Structure formats: C-alpha cells, structure tokens
Structure 1
Amino acid sequence: MADTATSWTDSVEEAVNGVFEPVAEFLGDIVFHTVDVLGTEFPLIVGWLVVAGAIFTAYFGFAQVRHFRLALRLVRGKYEQKNAPGEVSHFQALTSAVSGTVGLGNIAGVAIAISIGGPGATFWMILCGFLGMATKFVECTLGVKYREIHADGTVSGGPMLYLRKGLAERGLAGLGKVLAVLSAVMLLFFTFFGGNLFQVNQSLEQLQSVTGKENSFFSTSGGALLFGVLIAVLVSLVLIGGMRSIGAVTSRLVPSMAILYVTACLLVIGFNIDAVPDAIVTIFTEAFAPEGVAGGLLGALIQGFRRATFSNEAGIGSAPIAHSAVKTKRPATEGVVAMLEPFIDTVVICTMTALTIVIAGGPLYQQTRDAAMTGEAIDTSTSAGISITSDAFDTALPWFPYLLTIAVILFAFSTVITWGYYGLKCWGFLFGHNRTTDLIYKIVFCTVIISGALLSLGVLVDLADAALFLAALFNIIGLYLLAPVVKKELRKVLEYTRRRDAGETEEQIEADEADPTGEATSLAK
C-alpha cells in the first residue's frame, strides 16, 4: 500500500514538473541573467537589490545607523500613540514580519553560502543585511503611508497599494497600476510555493532525518500526510483570526525561536571560544582574498549577497504587508522599526550560524568546501544546507539536532502563517476582499500545505524564486520614485519624537500639526 502511495506521489510530481519546468527555466534565464565579471557569472538581479540598498543608505544619510536607537525605543513602546489606527503594536508588527524572513534561509542558506563561497561570504552577507535595512525602511514607510483601513478595523497594505496610489500622486497612475498588479501576482505565486510548500517540505525533511531517515514513520506517505494535515489545521486556525491572531502568535513564537537558536550557537561558540579569533580573521581575510574558492573574491561576494537577499527579502515588497497593520498615525515610525528586521535576520542570526559552522565544521561542511575548491558541482538544495548546519551542531552538541528539528518546524510554521497573510492581501487586491474569496484562498493555501509534505517540487520552488525576484524588480522601481515622500515622513517623525522627548504631550503635538499656522491658538487667546 505504501509503495502504491509513493508511486502515486512520484507520478504527480513528475507530471507537475513536466508542466512547469519549461516555464521555470524561461523565467530563471530572464530573472537570474548573469554577466561575466572577471571570469565569474554575476546575477544582475542581486546587483539590482544591493545597489538599491546602497542608494537608499546614502540618500537617507545612513538612517540605519543614525536612527537605530530610535527604532529600539519605538519597539519598546515609548512613543505609542493613543487611538492610532491599525491592528497591532510596533513590536507585534516587527515580529510578524521577522517571522516571514527568519527561517530556513538562516539555517540552510548560510551553510550553502559559506560552503561554496567560503567563510568570507559571511562578511558580504552582513554588508548586504546592513544595506537592506535602508531598503526596508523605505518600503515599510510607504506601506503604512498608503495603507487602507477597512470598516471593520482591519488593514490592507503593501506594494500593490503604495505603487498604485503613490505613483498616481506623482502623475504616473498608469505605471503605478501596472507595477501594482505585477507585484501582487508575483508575491501571490511565491506565497503558495515558496512561503508555503517549500517550508513544509523542508521541515519534514529535517524531521525525517532525526527519526530514522528512510526508516522513519514520517518517510512513509501516511506519516508525511499526517504531518501536512497537522500543519494545515494549525495554520488555518491562526489565519482565521487575522492579523491580530498572527501578531499574537508571532510575538511569542519568534522571540522564543530566535533565543533558542542563538543560544545553541552561543553554546557552540562558547565551548570553542579559543577558536573565535581565528574564525573572525578567516571570515574577514577570505572576504577579500579567498583561497581556493570557486569564483575567488566575486564568488564569495555573490554567494554572500545572494543568500542574504533570499534571507531578509529587503526590496521584495513582502514585509510592508505586515508592517502596514501597525497602530500609528506617523508612517515613518514603522519604517524606522522595520530597519531592525534585516539586522535581526541577517546581521545577527545569519552571523551566528556562520560562526557555528566555521568553528564546529563537520564532515559535510568539509566535503562541500573541498568540492568548491576543486571546482566540482555543489548540491545547493536547502536540505543539503540544513544537513550541513545540523552536522556542525552534531559535532559540537550531539543532542542539538533534535532541538534544531523543533526550531526548524517552528520557523517553518511561523513563516507559513505570515506568508499566508501576505498572500491573502495580494489575493484580495486582485480578486476583491469578501468572505467567499477569502475562504477560497484559505482552502487553496491549506491544500498546498498538505501537498508540500507529500511532494518535493523543486521546479516549482525555482519558479517561485523567480517570481519573488521579479516582485523586487517591480517594487524597487516604485521605491526610487517615491523616496522623496519617505524623506518628508521621516522629518515629521524626527520632529515628533524630539518634542515628545522634550516633554510635550501627544495632544499638544497633534493640535499643532492640525493647525500649523497657529491661527486657531491666536483666536482662542
């Protein structure tokens, strides 16, 4: 019976791959088009994202450095605004967005980057995360600025709204409508197959690896189906509750996951504290002069930038959907808070993973490093990345792969519910928001969860990645055109926080903002 079920799923997978493989290859050739730079193939889309981060960093005067402390004060609730429209606090909006980015990219993507690009890729990941903080600031400010608040108090926001409404204000209504629709379509496609199927499939892979591999109950069709159904039920319960429910879950789940994972990394680093200085020297040295790494300096740079981009999603347009639900009257407050997202995701968690792998090593890591040095083909699947990370932990903490499995499943769960919300907002923009359309979306989304546990649709994941980066192409065009709007909003927030710090009340500041000429005050006197 099991053989029949396996044969059936293999047949379905083969049929689906046969349909989508030509499309995936066509889009992949366009989206990930490369140019030869010093003998190394450089993907233009990665350059597009990194250049955007560099331009926004310069344009806003290194906002990610200058306003970092302000971001922390906002998250702690120092400037909470009474009766502000929205659904969740700054902290809940941040954790909801972080839950969509922190996950398998941090655990598996980092391993792939440093096994192929060498330990020096870590440096370029950190740099990419730093630049991504500026991009997140811009897109999330716009997300709140042009959001829509419905009669029931729920909020819709994201690139599909700020591209349409913001560009219309600048006399580019036609361009805005086209970019908005294309961005929504691409994000919706990724929702189903990247933010959903991909996460479930790879968390099941890790569960199977610690419960007997081929002999595991979860390696059978029945076990995989049970896992998929369980995740689908849990996700549906959270999605029914809307953004408030998602914010409540992620505000507890994400910090706990991050603390668990970073603590394990710190344990490995602490047990091997003598090796830390050498590891840091190796990372910085190989960032600029990697020896025996495929592609040399550019090879390390490309791997670092590409994996960091996959991980923190800066410029993609997904995070503004979650951040738009924040309770605030001043859009740039959430833009400032959003800068913490790439910092947590890439600068902190990815760096912890990289240091753990470089220090602990492990047979799989060494094998991929040796293969990269000799120019052999590397298996860059995410499961290979998870195996490398798990192997490194097993070398230093033999018991941790079991806890890692729990972390992976929780990371995947939080990512799925967050992308479920992102997809719902894109779906509503394209097909309208009502009970019927929302129900259809949730049924389709949960069905994909179950199939993610049964199938390994690599072609669809490749196609989803192409869609995600196309969304970045459309989104960043709009960000460039709307950057002056963000600068105005930032000035308002800096003035507001300055006055709050000086002891003025919310009511005083709002009265002055409503009457900037002071005429009402003069008449009252």
Structure 2
Amino acid sequence: MPSSLTHSIPAAISVDQRLDSLFGPFVDWLEGIVFFAVPFFGADLPLLIIWVIGAGVFMTCFTGFRAFRQLPHSLAIIRGKFNRHTDPGEVTSFQALATELSGTVGLGNIAGVAVAIAIGGPGASLWIIIAGLLGMSLKMAEATLGQKYRRVNKDGSISGGPMYYLQTGLKLQGKAKLGKVLAYMFAVFMMIGALGGGNLFQSNQVAAQIVLITGGPESFLAGKSWLIGVVLAAVTALAIFGGITSIAKWTGRIMPGMAVIYIGCVLTILVMNFTAIPDAFVAIFEGAFTGDGVQGGIVGVAIIGIQRALFSNVAGVGTAGLAHSATKNTRPAQEGFVAAWEPFIDSVVICTMTALAIIVTGQYQGTGAGGIDGIELTNAAFATVHELFPILLTVSVVLFAFSTILSYSYYGQKAAGFLFGESAVVRQGYNLVWLATIVVGSAVSLSAVVRFSDAVFFLMTVPNLIGLFFMANVIRKELNGHCDDLKTGILKIVPMAERSTLLGRPMPGDKTEDKVADRS
C-alpha cells in the first residue's frame, strides 16, 4: 500500500504487504549501486546527477542555445506547416509531442513536485525549473538523432530511438563496437526503466488517490489497491495492443483534456490565494539558496529538486528519441526543435504551477517524516478550495497516469523489439508483462516505487549521454544546417493540401526497402 496513506494493520498479511516485502530489498540493492554518492558540503551528492546536469550545460552551450532561439519556428512545425502527407513515418509532430508530453507531464508533476517540496522545502521547485531549462537542449539532441538514424521498414512502420542512433551513429564514426554495446545497454535499461517510472509510479499514485477519496483507511479498497491495478490494466490493454498509431491517437485526445482540467484547478487555487503568491516566490528563492531545514543546505535542496526534475521531464533519458523517430518527417532538426518544448512545458510551467498551489495554501508545512507526502500533499492543497476539487484532481491523476502508461508501453516495446526482434510475439509478450506490472505498482509502497523509478531512469542516461557527447558535432551540424536553409528560403512552407494533418489521420508510410535514414 502506498506509504502516503495510513492504514490499520490487518491480522493477516495482505497482498499489498506481501508484494512490498518482496520488492523492497531489491530496490535497496539497486539504489545503492546507481546512486553512488560522495560527501559534498554536508550532503550526499550522487555522481549521476552531475553527469546529467553537466550534459545539459554542455549541450546548451555547444548548440548555441538553439533550443531557446528556435522556439517560434518550432510552433510552425508543430502545426504541420513543413510536413507532407507523403513523408515517411507513422505520426505527426504534434502527436509525437503529445506522446512524449503524456509520458513526462504526469504524476511527476503532481506527486513528484509534492515529494520534492515535502523533503526539500519550497526552494526545491526553483531547482526543478533550472534543470528543466537545461533539459531542453538534451531533448532537442535526442529527437534530432532519433529522426536522423531511424529505420523505415517495408510496411511503413518505424524503428528508432537511442538504440538505433547509438548503434548506427557511432558506427559511422568508426566506433562500431562501442555503439553496439551502448545500444544494447540502453535497450535493456529502457525495458526495465519503462516498467519503473512509466508504469509502477503511475499506477501506485492512481491507487493512492482513489483510496484516499473513497475513505482512506476506512475505504473498501484500503489494503486492496491491487484491485485498482487490475481495472487500470484492463483499460490499458484496449489501447496498447494497437501499437504507436493507437497510442498516439489516445494520447493526442487525452492530453488536451487533462491539461485543461488540471491547469484550470491550479489557476483557481492561485486566484483564490493571489495575495500569498509574492510570499510564495520569496519562499522559493530563499529556500533554493539557503536550504534552511534541509540536510546539506543549498546543496541538499538542489540535489532534491534536480533529481525530481530529471524524473519528471526525463531529459537525457532518451525517450524523446523514441517518440520523435516515428514522425512523418524528412528533416531531423525539425523534430529536435519540437522536442525542446517538452522540458519547458513539463518542468518550467506545470511543475511550477503545482509548487505554487502547494505553497500558497500552506500545505507543505509539517510534511516529510511523519506527515503527508506524494499525491496526498497535492490533494490537501486542492481540498482547501472546495470538496469537489479532490475529485477533479483524481480525474486528472487518472488521465495523467493513463497517458504516461500508454507512452512508456511503446518505449518499452521498441526496446524489446531491438533486443529480441521486431515481431508480434515480442510486442505482445512485453505488453502482457506491462499489464502485470501495473497491478504490482498499485500495491507496493510509494518509497520503494520512487527509489526504483529513479534508479532505472538514471541508468538509461549513462549509454544515452555517452552517445550524445560523441555525436555532438552531428547534432550541431543538423541544427545549423536546418536554420541556414530556413534563412535562405530553401526550407519552404508546404501547401495546405499536401500537409500532414494535425490530428494525424492514418496515412501511408514509405513502402521502400528497409533503410536507415542517415541524412548527412
């Protein structure tokens, strides 16, 4: 049962408790390896955080801040102005954006921000913003390479992502062995990582919220969260067996609705507490640079904020390369510019709104050890407005979690396909494991789920970022070349009749022989 809820202990060991007792020791072992830390000004500094943030700083500077400079142009790309019906691919740029945002704008923004504030105070939210801004260039790089080195299959389907750009891109640089090793490392980590952050955490917090609004410890579902997991798994099955086209349609339809509900509720909270907003910003900035009450002070609160941001926007993890490899496009840099929006929307906009809602209502005070945490903290902030708001939050939580589960099921499928072959047996076999994991995630504790999700997500950054460093010149060449073509007029707006539609109606893919789209 999620640790964010307090239950009476039944005489017999429940299914939830049994699953948690089996899962917990493994998480302890994995976390000790992945988050190896060194003492740093009174805090334990995980080396992998330096690894990811350092990559973000490097890519931002090396690409000449293109992620920020081309944001207006990226809006035209999202609207389909530069894409044709006949371009090879399965989904539109808008659908790829929706799929990736559905995988990132989720419970990391609702429960993850609450966890960060509960542990690190209001100041943690500023570090979430900083990490999000640095993540924009990483997502841009991943999507550019994902589109450049994707494989267009005979049936028009796409095989792409870090597995392919690591293997093919490094091979073209004369580093075939390194590329192959990194590609297989990433595929293994992605299979496991998708099950963690994209599945376990989502189903866990859905179950926690549903139990909470149905009576908490007195709810019929208390101690029986696995039943919620069974229902969620059954609904998920309806969408994921149709592949990326089906998943993209579901996420493209769900994302606008869930965004309107959640953002509308948060804006209402902020309007009703508008006099507290200035003090909230003061608390955020003071907490970020003083770290009062947090072990390790400013370093401690920075670590908490950055770690939660990386889990939320997953910049550096490689998922953008998977989502944007499937788009109907022939110019890799276009997808890079679209992907740059994802950490901005996720960590700068949505996470900040959640943080402000929690802070202005004062619900973060007294959290942490012995207090409320995770989704329950956000629920408490919503409850200050009206008794209906926790119900609206529940709707948002279910939609956010469901869309994330759909997105990451595709990512896990593609990783499994790379390792074991792109076949229906592999895809459906992975889907069955995926559905079973939803049930497990709904029952184990929040602490175990958060630690496991963080560990496997950070593992994916190791092979992915090594590849980005080696292919940095390729990324910069693609971005600069695209911008030069835009300035000189070579890149022109496609006539309306020839464009890919925004909602991405089924269109034929490229029926040519298998090929790797290496567009130097």
Q: 1:440 aligns with which of 425, 429, 433?
A: 429
Distance 1:51 1:466 in 2: 18
- Secondary structure of the residue aligned to 1:436 is helix
- Secondary structure of the residue aligned to 1:42 is strand
Moved over 4 A (4+): 3-6, 454-461, 499-506
User: Following superposition of structure 1 onto structure 2, how do residues 493-512 of structure 1 map, counting pairs within 5 Å?
Assistant: 493-500=482-489
User: Following superposition of structure 1 onto structure 2, how do residues 473-488 of structure 1 map, counting pairs within 5 Å?
Assistant: 473-488=462-477
Number of the residue aligned with 1:520: none
Verify: 1:183 aligned to 2:186, yes or no: yes
Distance 1:194 1:123 in 2: 22
Number of the residue aligned with 2:323: 322
Shift of 1:66: 0.7
- Return closer, same or farther for 1:502/1:428 CA change in 2, 3 Å cut-off: closer
Shift of 1:200: 1.1
- Secondary structure of the residue aligned to 1:35 is strand
Shift of 1:503: 6.0
- Secondary structure of the residue aligned to 1:7 is coil
Q: Partner letter of residue 288 of structure 2?
A: A
User: Following superposition of structure 1 onto structure 2, how do residues 49-88 of structure 1 map, counting pairs within 5 Å?
Assistant: 49-88=52-91
User: Do the aligned partners of 2:15 and 2:223 also contact (CA within 8 Å) in 1?
Assistant: no
Structure 1 residues 443-500: Cα deviation after superposition (integer angstroms, max 9, x where no partner): 2221222333344485466344322211101110110001111111112321333355
**Percent of aligned pairs with the same amino acid:** 45
Shift of 1:114: 2.1
- Secondary structure of the residue aligned to 1:189 is helix
Shift of 1:421: 0.5
- Secondary structure of the residue aligned to 1:119 is coil
Q: 2:13 aligns with which of 7, 13, 17?
A: 7
Distance 1:209 1:83 in 2: 49
Moved more, 441-450 or 404-413: 441-450
Shift of 1:90: 0.8
**Equivalenced residues, count:** 487
Shift of 1:247: 1.2
Number of the residue aligned with 1:242: 243
Moved more, 88-97 or 430-439: 430-439
User: Following superposition of structure 1 onto structure 2, how do residues 348-367 of structure 1 map, counting pairs within 5 Å?
Assistant: 348-362=349-363, 365-367=364-366
User: Following superposition of structure 1 onto structure 2, how do residues 367-406 of structure 1 map, counting pairs within 5 Å?
Assistant: 367-368=366-367, 377=369, 384-406=373-395
Number of the residue aligned with 2:515: none
Shift of 1:210: 0.3
- Secondary structure of the residue aligned to 1:99 is helix
Q: TM-score, normalised by structure 2?
A: 0.88
Shift of 1:25: 3.0
Q: 1:196 aligns with which of 189, 199, 204?
A: 199
- Secondary structure of the residue aligned to 1:217 is coil
User: Following superposition of structure 1 onto structure 2, how do residues 76-225 of structure 1 map, counting pairs within 5 Å?
Assistant: 76-219=79-222, 221=224, 224-225=225-226
Q: TM-score, normalised by structure 1?
A: 0.87
User: Do the aligned partners of 1:64 and 1:130 also contact (CA within 8 Å) in 2?
Assistant: no
Shift of 1:357: 1.0
- Secondary structure of the residue aligned to 2:366 is helix
- Secondary structure of the residue aligned to 2:84 is coil
Distance 2:86 2:19 in 1: 51
Distance 2:289 2:263 in 1: 27
User: Following superposition of structure 1 onto structure 2, how do residues 417-432 of structure 1 map, counting pairs within 5 Å?
Assistant: 417-432=406-421
**CA-atom RMSD, angstroms?**
2.3
Shift of 1:249: 1.1
- Secondary structure of the residue aligned to 1:396 is coil
- Secondary structure of the residue aligned to 1:367 is coil
- Return closer, same or farther for 1:453/1:243 CA change in 2, 3 Å cut-off: same
Distance 1:11 1:404 in 2: 27
Number of the residue aligned with 1:253: 254
- Secondary structure of the residue aligned to 2:154 is coil
Verify: 1:304 aligned to 2:293, yes or no: no
- Secondary structure of the residue aligned to 1:384 is coil
Q: Partner letter of residue 216 of structure 2?
A: K
Number of the residue aligned with 2:499: none
Shift of 1:505: 6.5
User: Do the aligned partners of 1:113 and 1:303 also contact (CA within 8 Å) in 2?
Assistant: yes
Q: Partner letter of residue 330 of structure 2?
A: K
Q: Partner letter of residue 466 of structure 2?
A: I
Structure 1 residues 336-375: Cα deviation after superposition (integer angstroms, max 9, x where no partner): 100000011100000001111111112xx2112xx6xxxx
Structure 1 residues 58-87: Cα deviation after superposition (integer angstroms, max 9, x where no partner): 001111221111112211222223411111
Distance 2:493 2:293 in 1: 60
Distance 1:147 1:5 in 2: 55
Distance 2:304 2:132 in 1: 13
Number of the residue aligned with 1:472: 461
Verify: 1:451 aligned to 2:440, yes or no: yes
Distance 1:233 1:100 in 2: 19
Higher share in helix:
1
Number of the residue aligned with 1:374: none
Mark the runs of 5 or more structure 2 residues left unpaired by the alignment: 1-8, 496-520
Greater relative contact order (Cα < 8 A, sep 6+): 2
